[in-house]
Chain A
Amino acid sequence: MIDFLILLLLMPVAGALFILFLPEQRQPWIRPTALITATLTLLYTLYLATQMDFSNPAVQLVAEYQWNKRLGTYFSFGVDGLSYPLVALTNLLTLAAIAVSTQIKERIKGYYILLLLLEAATMGVFLTQGWALFYVFWELVLIPLFFLIDRWGGVNRQRAALNFVLYTMGGSVFMLLGLLMLFDANPEHRFLFASVKRASAVIPPETQTLIFLGLMIGLGVKMPLFPLHGWLPLAHVEAPSPVSILLSGILLKMGAYGLIRSAEMLPAAALNLQNFMMALGMIGMLYGGLLAWRQSDLKKMIAYSSVSHMGVVMIGIAALNENGLMGAAYQMVAHGLVAGALFMLIGLLYERTHTRDINDYGSLLRATPRFAVLIILALVGGVGLPGTAGFIGELHALIGGFERWGWLVAVLSLGMLITATYSLRTVKQLYTGPVNLSMQQVPDLKPLELAAGGILVAGTLLLGFYPLPLLNVLLSSLQAIAAPFGA
């Protein structure tokens, strides 16, 4: 029998190896190879959907091999309704990021190898079925990312990369401690998700809470939770745009995904910390939104808006019911598409104008209508206007939160209001107002870029207008996760 998922993980690695062994005179092959690899991976992922039964909440396409018997670690992969959309999102955004990487002109061999390795490592995080392997992939993501920011980033890239790694590692220490405690507390002494879930009935709630806090610090740095988001503005701004796409499009989702999994493993702890998580989500949402409003640097603004959107995800998770989790998961996918599209478009705009200050722009509508359509749609998608995926996500989170806390979630709509404020401000500044003569010669999107951005924006609209397929994919898994928490 073929292990579908291991094959999936190896596909980008194989592409990376192929690029690695390309001889020096074959430089022009590198980009097409990366593009083809990413396309094939995406197609294969879509094919896997036909092999799965999404009405079944169980983990599917399982591949399990013993790794270290004494430590109880396994190479265990599997996919369910929650992780599949995230894997698909990873592959889609990687493809989009590679498609718009034309401005990377030096050391392209290393660049594309690292991008493909990053894709494999990220998929690993979503596919693994054991905490040990989860941790390994979690750390593995850091390595390509560190080099991508450090070698190809902006002026302050070294500081940004170092900061990013230090923050994540610092969080990881707590996660590791939590995992060790978990291993110790688990009578089976295993890291497998299934085993931990069985053990959660035996582990006392206090221990669970401690373990959960440890995990939450580690995962929260990535997510990012207020006040652990210090690395984010710098890293997003300094990273090259394609990497920013991946950074905010997928890497933030790793944290939220891990948090949902931890809540599933340690239900008692999740219930104990429910209000705390909600408060963190609320603070993050308002704080991120307000700071985004204060930024005149476009990339920084989107970075802070990510903090705000992940706050909504956090509120959805904290609600610990079907609607809340659905909102969180849907919002993750929606934000992945929207943030990916925004970073891509702003990055492409920066390539042409060499400024990210919003005050330098004005009346771009005539010069760059394609940019205008896509950026406006993406910003509107970020606001969560009905008809975009964000609306479905926020609506579910709102309903879930309301079921749990009642009218307190009115704050959530305040957050949306703030989002609307800075999004519309941005549209106004970019496309209306006094004509800036130096901006009238800005070239519009090229066909490949238009396709890449168009697919992300179209995805947002599609998921907004016809949410049923994705809801169905997520539903049964989330029902299973929400079941222990009751109504």
Chain B
Amino acid sequence: MTEWLHRLLLLIPLLPLLAGFWIGLGVIFKWNRGEQGERETALLAVGSALLVFLALLGLAVYSAVNGSLGTIIISRWLESGNIQASVSLLFDGLSLSLATVFSFIILLTLHFSVNYLHREASFQRFFLIMCLFHTAMLLIVLGGNLMVTFVGWELAGISSYLLISYSWQREYASTNATRAFVTNRVGDAGFLLAIFMALIYWGNCDWEALLVQSQMEPGLVANLIVLGLILAACIKSAQFPFSAWISHALEGPTPSSGVFYGSVMVHAGIYLLLRLSPMLEQMPIIAWLLAAMGLATVVYAWFLAQMQTDIKSSLIFSTLMQVGMMVVAIAAGWTTLALIHLVLHAIWRIYQFLWSPSFLQQTSSPAPAAPAWFQNNLWLHNACLQRFWLDRLADTFLVKPTRLLAHEAQLFDQQVVDRLTGTPSHTNVLSTLVQMQALQTGSLQLSNQVGIGSGIFGKLLQRIAEIMEWFEERLVLKSSSDGLAGLATVLGERAELVETYLRQPRYMLVLIAATLVVVL
């Protein structure tokens, strides 16, 4: 019985996913499109979020009264050797409170968006992705082990990518979406490293087991796991020097920007750090590093916030500053403070973001200019204008070398590998309309490609096939076409010849004489 109830808990993260799936089906099969579909879409998205929120609230009250549910294993997923992974959810104070707050924020934002996106061409797409994102956040926060959290982590990355490129027609939007996604992938590498180390050395990646294990055997493995996760967390929460992507990520509709980068997804990294905080206490060097990062972010964001002229950008830098402060608090060990800061900040920030589109109507005075001392310090001013060259640095040191390497690799591929393997070239493809017309009038003939191989193996195949064809033509078909029938003809002619000889009397006489000779 309780087992079944536990299985039902999986519905909490899955409900928004199912709602999104149904919206997607409706779009594909055309019953949910355009303005007529808005009602159904909104009902599904808001309804699922509401249900999830109520369920989480109930669970929170229940665990406040009866004590925490702890890790709940829903089903076993992977077992190989001594490696075990299961689909499990963790319901403790931290995860439940954050899941409830996040769900509440997403619920309100969805409700707000119903009117905000009214008659928008991609109304359904927006809500579908928001549902995906809701599932992603629930999986991150409620995931009972690193793998489940990682599934949510990736899903959040993808929905972020999809919403940044919401208006994909604009090149700027899709470029920035790619940039944000690629930066996040760097963090994913850290996350994967952590999962890998945990599974290989400890055979288990449950949150609770990780904490126990790291107490028992502190050392390189524990340090690497924590470092990998911190890398992932810092990139997701856009800590310095990985802050550049988030300021480009505001291309989507404002409600989604608010949810993703203002109040929910940006805190996913903080959640991860909060989870790791017991381990951090034993790793002072890493904690110092983290504090330095947080501090750098605070400084960076504070300076940049002075320079911003549009509301969304100034909000995002102010968000970054707050998040940096949370990181510093966690590094210093004040986790409760960080958690309370997180909750308050998330709620306040989403309010600001949702309010920002009507900012110009609400305020009478223009945005204040940067303070005078700041304007006078030319060098600093310039650095802030260029956002501390973070983008430029990343381009020079990461993107350009990668591009060069890719270019070299492609050259090698074209010059060497393609020739050896015989990848089809462009030689037999019509490239111009003139060629096409020539083909149709019959003045151009495409070369016969039947039985022609390319590349080493293709040529080898061709040689062997040619030899065999020669054999077939010469020995099998020829001998059979003229062959058996031909042989019969030849033999028949010979027999006829003998017959004609035999019909002549003198040969008969000779034959009789020969017989007599033999007999005698």
Contact = CB atoms under 8 A, between A and B. Distances in A.
Contact of A230 (B430, B461, B469, B479): B479
Contact of A163 (B450, B451, B484): B484
B483 A230 contact: yes
Interface string A225-241: 00101110110000000
A245 to B, nearest CB: 23
B406 to A, nearest CB: 29
B464 A290 contact: yes
A418 B464 CA distance: 12
Interface in B471-491: 472, 475-477, 479-481, 483-485, 488
A231 B465 CA distance: 20
Given A290-B468, A291-B472, A231 B480 contact: yes
A227 B481 CA distance: 15
Contacts, number: 67
Contacts of A429: 449-450
Contacts of B481: 159, 163, 234
Given A170-B484, A229-B476, A230-B476, A290 B450 contact: no
B485 A295 contact: no
Contacts of A162: 485
Contacts of A227: 475-476
Contacts of A74: none
Contacts of B476: 227, 229-230
A359 B452 CA distance: 13
B465 A290 contact: yes
Nearest to A289: B465
List the 10 closest pairs (A to B, CB-CB), nearest first. A230-B480, A294-B451, A290-B465, A296-B450, A166-B484, A230-B476, A294-B465, A294-B469, A434-B430, A290-B468
B436 interface: yes
Contacts of A229: 476
A391 interface: no
Interface in B429-470: 430, 436, 439-440, 446, 448-451, 461, 464-466, 468-469
A295 B450 CA distance: 7
A156 to B, nearest CB: 9
Contact of A291 (B446, B469, B485): B469
A49 to B, nearest CB: 40
Interface in A392-437: 418, 421, 425, 429, 434-435, 437
B485 A294 contact: no
Contact of A293 (B448, B461, B475, B479): B461
A169 to B, nearest CB: 9
A425 B450 contact: yes
A429 B483 CA distance: 34
Contact of B448 (A231, A296, A437): A296
Contacts of B464: 290
Nearest to B440: A437
B367 to A, nearest CB: 59
A151 B468 CA distance: 32
A159 B448 contact: no
A167 interface: yes
Nearest to A359: B448
Given A293-B461, A421-B461, A434 B446 contact: yes
Contacts of A435: 436
A429 B449 CA distance: 9
A233 B478 CA distance: 12
B474 to A, nearest CB: 12
A167 B484 contact: yes
A77 interface: no
A306 B31 CA distance: 49
A166 B487 CA distance: 11
A296 B481 CA distance: 20
Nearest to A228: B476
Interface string A277-320: 00000000001001101111000000000000000000000000
B450 A294 contact: yes
B480 A163 contact: yes
B24 to A, nearest CB: 26
B480 A291 contact: no
24 contacts: A162-B485, A163-B481, A163-B484, A163-B485, A166-B484, A166-B488, A170-B484, A227-B476, A230-B476, A233-B477, A234-B480, A234-B481, A290-B465, A291-B465, A291-B468, A291-B469, A294-B450, A294-B451, A296-B448, A359-B446, A429-B449, A434-B436, A434-B439, A437-B440
Interface string A208-239: 00000000000000000001011101100000
A61 interface: no
Nearest to B464: A290
Interface in A230-260: 230-231, 233-234
A229 B472 CA distance: 10
Contacts of B436: 434-435
A273 B446 CA distance: 48
Interface in A44-72: none
A359 B450 CA distance: 8
A358 interface: yes
Contact of A418 (B461, B466, B480): B461
Nearest to B428: A433
Contacts of A159: 481, 485
Nearest to B482: A159
Given A159-B485, A170-B484, A291-B472, 16 more contacts: A159-B481, A163-B480, A230-B479, A230-B480, A234-B481, A290-B468, A290-B469, A291-B468, A291-B469, A294-B465, A294-B466, A358-B450, A359-B446, A359-B448, A425-B450, A434-B430
A293 B460 CA distance: 13
Interface string A143-163: 000000000000000010011
